[in-house]
């Protein structure tokens, strides 16, 4: 079950590969995510040294009046990946000039997981072609229904 989804990421990026990662979160953040609060809009995956971080994701506290005074909603959150997965993400992002984007946060065996997408940014031309293809497919389906 997906708790938070980055809805319009597929409009701006072409997803080439996906990877599952764990998240290092506080208890109030876990409760907040399970209630569906939070946003992945504008978030990115950043690799620094031997660690990967989720940057730009907004996860509010579960109960705003009971939180620590210095709580930050937009703080970088560490991703739980092994060294081979981090190395693979680093080579795809740095050498191949691809972007690492978060897709969804979901529940897997009572643990919260993040789907990471290795993506290539779409140009305006690609977006227009996709819209034309979707419209033509829709009109073909409409004609097929009318002919039956």
pLDDT, residue 66, reads 67
**Residue labelled with tokens 């005074």:** 69
Residue 65 has a pLDDT of: 66
Q: Does the predicted model carry a pTM greater than 0.85?
A: no
| Three-state secondary structure readout of the chain | CEEEECCCHHHHEEEEEEEEEEECCCHHHHHHHHCCCCECCCCEEEEECCEEEEECCECCCCCHHHCCCCCCCCCCEEEECCHHHHHHHHHHHHCCCCEEEEEEEEEECCEEEEEEEEEEECCHHHHHHHHHHHHHHHHHHHHHHHHC
Question: Length of the chain, please?
Answer: 148
The pLDDT mean for the chain works out to 88
Q: What is the Cα–Cα distance from 19 to 26, expressed in whole angstroms? A: 22
Q: Is the pLDDT reported for residue 120 higher than 70?
A: yes
pLDDT for the residue 130: 87
Q: What pLDDT, on the 0 to 100 scale, is given for residue 11? A: 85
Model pLDDT, residue 62:
80
* Residue entry with tokens 């660690």: 51
């Amino acid at each position: 079950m997906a708790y938070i989804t980055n809805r319009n990421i597929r409009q701006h990026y072409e997803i080439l590969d996906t990877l599952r990662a764990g998240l290092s979160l506080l208890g109030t953040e876990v409760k907040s995510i399970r209630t569906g609060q939070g946003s992945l809009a504008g978030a990115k995956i950043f690799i620094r040294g031997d660690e990967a971080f989720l940057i730009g994701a907004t996860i509010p506290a579960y109960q705003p009046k009971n939180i620590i005074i210095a709580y930050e909603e937009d703080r970088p959150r560490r991703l739980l990946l092994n060294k081979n997965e981090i190395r693979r993400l680093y080579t795809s992002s740095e050498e191949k000039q691809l972007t690492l984007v978060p897709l969804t946060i979901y529940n897997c065996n009572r643990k919260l997981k993040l789907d990471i997408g290795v993506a290539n940014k779409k140009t305006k031309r690609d977006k227009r072609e996709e819209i034309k293809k979707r419209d033509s497919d829709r009109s073909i389906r409409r004609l097929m229904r009318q002919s039956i």
